[in-house]
Amino acid sequence: MSGLAAVLGDLLPSAIGIAISPLPIIAAVLMLMSERASRTAPAFALGWVVGLTAVTVIVLVVAGPNGADTGSSSTTASWIKLVLGVLFLGLAYNTWRKRPRAGAEVEPPKWMRGLDSMKPLAASGLGAALAAVNPKNLMLAVGGAVAIAAGDLETGATIVCVVVFVLLASVMVAGPVVAYFVARDAMLHPLEELKSFMQEHNAAIMMVLLTVLGVSNLGKGLGGLLD
């Protein structure tokens, strides 16, 4: 149990980092406010969950069921964390450099303009792409999978970690969709406020998040290499 708890603690930052990604949250809210909300929003959330699960499982399969019980594998995991740390810091700097200037109107990406008319299949593909192809989320998913692989857990415990990781990473995308269908009228105003907040503070949220993740991964990677 202690090994499972340690792995869950290690993958928590990656899961939270994926969960608070502004653009997927804004996309989910926009779909919920469209005329096709009942079809596109659930498809988007499902695509997100499937894409995230696929990346996590693929990394675990590549790592191998016993990949974490050797010194070389432990060193490899440390190097991966070190590289991820550098990449996250690079993304943080790029986000800061491209941030909107004070007083400038924040425009959403062009691909969001077609969300109102998007079909369920396309929405599902978009959800999968934002979860598994987006560079930041892809690196975080790899980091979470590496943390699970490095725990050298039994199959049951590994499955628990994957499920917990995906659920936590999906809470801000799938959560609003579930809440919308449970209490539609009550959720419209909070969802609009959430969209506005995420859109206005997208750069700041991403910069802080990526910096924290970069420093965290650098520390873990260096600590593992120096042990």
pLDDT tens digit string along 128-160? 999 988 888 888 888 888 888 887 788 899 999
Which residue segment(s) compose the domain that 36 sits in? 2-226
Q: Give the model's pLDDT for residue 20.
A: 87
CA-based R_g, the chain, Å? 18
Q: What pLDDT digit, counting tens, does each position of 20-33 carry? A: 888 888 889 888 88
**In the structure, what pLDDT confidence band is assigned to residue 195 with cuts at 50, 70 and 90?**
confident
Q: Give the model's pLDDT for residue 106.
A: 61
Counting residues of the chain whose pLDDT is more than 90, the rounded percentage is: 23
Mean pLDDT value of segment 108-125: 81
Q: What pLDDT digit, counting tens, does each position of 56-107 carry? A: 999 888 865 544 443 455 677 778 888 888 988 888 888 888 777 666 666 6
Q: What pLDDT digit, counting tens, does each position of 162-180 carry? A: 999 999 999 999 999 999 8
Q: Give the model's pLDDT for residue 70.
A: 39
Q: Give the model's pLDDT for residue 190.
A: 87
pTM of the model as a whole: 0.79
Number of domains the chain contains: 1
Q: Give the model's pLDDT for residue 108.
A: 65
Q: Give the model's pLDDT for residue 45.
A: 95
